[in-house]
Amino acid sequence: MVTPAILAFADGTHFIGEGFGAEGLTSGEIVFNTAMTGYQEILSDPSYNSQIVTLTYPHVGNVGCNPEDMESDRFHAAGLVIRQKPRTPSNFRASASLDEAMREQGRGGICNIDTRQLTRMLRDRGSQNGALLVGEGSVEQAVAAARDFGGLSGANLADAVSVQQSYGWTEGLWRLTPAPATRHVVVYDFGVKRNILRSLVHVGCRITVVPSSTSVEQALELKPDGIMLANGPGDPQPVANGIAVAREFLRRETPMMGICLGHQILGLAAGAKTLKMKFGHHGANHPVQDLRNNRVLITSQNHGFAVDEDSLPESVEVTHRSLFDGSVQGIAHRSAPAFSFQGHPEASPGPHDLLPLFEQFMELMR
C-alpha cells in the first residue's frame, strides 16, 4: 500500500509523492544538501533541527541505519526529501532500514518527486518555509502549516537542543588510538555532534560538555585549558549567553575554538554581525581556501547564516573563504588565542581535510 505525501511551500507551490517513515504533519525550512553519503549523520545532526532536508543524490537508504553512525541521541531534521524510495538495505552494519529508523524516530519523508526541480527552485528562490505531510491530508492543510512556520531568523534553537546537565566524554575516533589526555576542554553544547567530541579526544583532550546556559564562572570552576563553542542550529544572534561568555573568554584570553554556529557566535562576540544566507551551504563537497597558505580544502558544510565580512573589526582576520560564493569560512582573533571555522572539520560525513584544526586548538592550549 502506497502512503501519500505532500511537500508544500508557504507560497502554495507543492509536490505530491510517496511517503515513508512516520506519518504526520511537520513544518520547517526546506534546504538542499549535495552530499552523496551520510544521510544518517545528516538526520541526527542537531544543526538540522527545524529543517526539511532535500538530498540531491538519488540513491538514499542503500546501507540502512545503525546506532554507531548517530551524531546525537535522536534524529533532529524535521523531514527528508529524496528521489527514490529506500530499498532493503545491504550492509553488514545495518540494524534497521531508513524507513524503519525514521518511523522509530518519528520523522517523515517523501520520495518519488523530482528533486532536481526542487533543488533548482531552492537555488533560485532561496531556502523556503515549508511543510511535509505524510499520510492522509490535503494540499491546503500542508500549505497552511508552511505559512504558520516562523522561519529560522530570530529562532534560538541552540538552547532548545542543548543538554540540560553537564557530562564527560571519553570516546575517541573509531579504530584509532587517541593521544594521552593532557588538556581539559569545556564544550558549550549548542547542538554538538559526537564526532566533534571524538576528534577532540583523539588529539588529547579530556572533555566536559556543558549546557548552553552555563555561565563563565561555572565553566571556570571546571578549570578548563580551553573552550569549544560547538555547532548548532538556528540564528546565532538570539543565543545571548553564548555570545556573552565568548566575549568574556576573549577578554580573559582563554584559548577558544568555534565550529559552525560557534564560529558565528565568536564573530558576534568579537564585534561583527551575522546575516541570513539565500540558501546556505549544505553538503560534503564545498571548496574552501585557507588564505594563509592558499591551499584549497574540500569541506563538509551545514549552515544558513554567515559572519558578515564587512562588519569585522580590525581585531579579527579572515583565515578561510568559500570558493563557491566568497563568504567567510574562518576567522582568527589577532590578540586573543581564539579562532573558528564555519564548516564541520570533523567531517562526518565528508572529507578529512580540516582535521588539523583540532591540532591547532591543542597548540593554542599548550
- What is the CATH number assigned to the segment(s) 4-148? 3.50.30.20
260 is an active site residue:
yes
The catalytically annotated residue of 29, 41, 71, 346 is: 346
Work out whether strand 205-211 and strand 4-9 pair parallel, antiparallel, or are unpaired. Answer: unpaired
263 is an active site residue:
no
Each residue's pLDDT, cut to its tens digit, for the chain (366 residues) gives 899 999 999 999 999 999 999 999 999 999 999 999 999 999 999 999 999 999 999 999 999 999 999 999 999 999 999 999 877 899 999 999 999 999 999 999 999 999 999 999 999 999 999 999 999 999 999 999 999 999 999 999 999 999 999 999 999 998 889 999 999 999 999 999 999 999 999 999 999 999 999 999 999 999 999 999 999 999 999 999 999 999 999 999 999 999 999 999 999 999 999 999 999 999 999 999 999 999 999 999 999 999 999 999 999 999 999 999 999 999 999 999 999 999 999 878 888 899 999 999 999 999
Distance, in Å, from the CA atom of 127 to the CA atom of 66, rounded to the nearest integer, reads: 30
- In tens, the pLDDT along 75-129 reads 999 999 999 987 789 999 999 999 999 999 999 999 999 999 999 999 999 999 9
Task: Give the residue extent of every domain in the chain.
Answer: 4-148, 157-365
Do the beta carbons of residue 231 and residue 262 sit within 8 Å?
yes
346 is an active site residue:
yes
CATH class of 157-365: alpha beta
The catalytically annotated residue of 71, 260, 263, 282 is: 260
> Which grid cell is 38?
551520510
